[in-house]
């Protein structure tokens, strides 16, 4: 099945470390997104990319950066991790060619803990 | 005003019950409307899109009122497996997710 995968699935790190979360998809979708989810809060958009040469900030991009290495790959970096970046991170994809092009498909998530 | 507002619940219902969730959104330019389901510590999964004319998928019925900026989800004949958090999602070029409404279906 075409899928969205995320690595690692779980990560514990220390304050100040650089961390990269990776997302790959085999759906052939052109659009990719990174979200974080904190307990009791909704999904918050960090960054999104509508194609390989397009990168856009979401509502909470401070402290994060992204790279769209190929249509199928979108990575999220925390340059210097801090404890309040402890959260569940989701990657998602969508296909602008579909009639319901905004429908998003999510990866399984990465649980990040910053000590 | 928050962009997408939902009652957090939890809604505790017995099997077989009918339950309704509501959602309001603030951006009148929104063009896309969805209900997603999220199980504990798992990724959100699309439950159904919501169309202006209303739409039904088995036991699930979704309604959209653009004038009132209001979306609803009706679940009939609740099953234990319906226990989850239901996310109201609204958007245009990107999507905005509500915090979700938790549903607990008991035997």
Q: Which residue has the higher pLDDT, A100 or A89?
A: A89
Site of tokens 């905004």: A102
Among B95, B96, B102, most A C-beta atoms within 10 A, so best to mutate, is: B95
Q: Stretch B45-67: mean pLDDT, rounded?
A: 93
Classify residue A40 by burial, with Cβ atoms within 10 Å: 0-12, 13-18, 19+.
Answer: exposed
Note the pLDDT of residue B53.
86
- pLDDT bracket for residue B104 (50, 70, 90): very high
Q: Stretch A86-106: mean pLDDT, rounded?
A: 90
Q: Which residue has the higher pLDDT, B2 or B53?
A: B53
The whole-angstrom distance between B48's CA and the closest CA on chain A is 10
Query: CA-nearest residue of chain A to B48?
Result: A103
* Chain B interface residues (partner A, CB cutoff 8 A): 4, 8, 31-32, 34, 41-46, 49, 87, 91-100
Note the pLDDT of residue A1.
62
Beta-strand pair A64-70/B84-91: unpaired
Beta-strand pair B70-75/B19-25: antiparallel
CA neighbor of A58 nearest in space, from B28, B55, B39, B96 = B96
Cα separation of A106 and A3, whole Å?
Answer: 9
Among A58, A90, A100, whose Cβ lies nearest the Cβ of B43? A90
Query: Alpha-carbon dihedral of residues B10, B12, B16, B22, nearest 10 degrees?
Result: -30
Note the pLDDT of residue A41.
83
């Amino acid at each position: 099945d075409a899928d969205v995968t995320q690595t690692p699935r779980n990560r514990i790190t220390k304050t100040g470390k650089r961390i990269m979360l990776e997302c790959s998809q085999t759906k052939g979708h052109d659009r990719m997104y990174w979200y974080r989810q904190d307990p009791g809060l909704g999904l918050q958009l960090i960054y999104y990319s509508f194609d390989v040469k397009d990168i856009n900030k979401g509502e909470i991009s401070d402290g994060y950066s992204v790279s769209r290495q190929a249509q199928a790959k979108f990575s999220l970096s925390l340059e210097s991790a801090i404890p309040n970046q402890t959260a569940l991170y989701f990657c998602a994809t969508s296909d602008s060619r579909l009639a319901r092009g905004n429908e998003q498909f999510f990866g399984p998530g990465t649980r990040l803990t910053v000590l | 005003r928050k962009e997408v507002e939902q009652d957090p619940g939890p809604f505790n219902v017995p099997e077989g019950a009918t339950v309704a969730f509501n959602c309001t959104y603030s951006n009148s330019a929104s063009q896309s409307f969805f209900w997603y389901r999220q199980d504990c510590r798992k990724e959100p999964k699309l439950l159904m899109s919501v169309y202006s004319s209303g739409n039904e998928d088995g036991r699930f019925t979704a309604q959209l009122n653009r004038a009132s900026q209001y979306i609803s989800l009706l679940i009939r004949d609740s099953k234990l497996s319906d226990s989850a958090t239901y996310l109201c999602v609204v958007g245009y070029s990107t999507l905005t997710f509500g915090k979700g409404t938790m549903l607990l279906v008991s035997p």
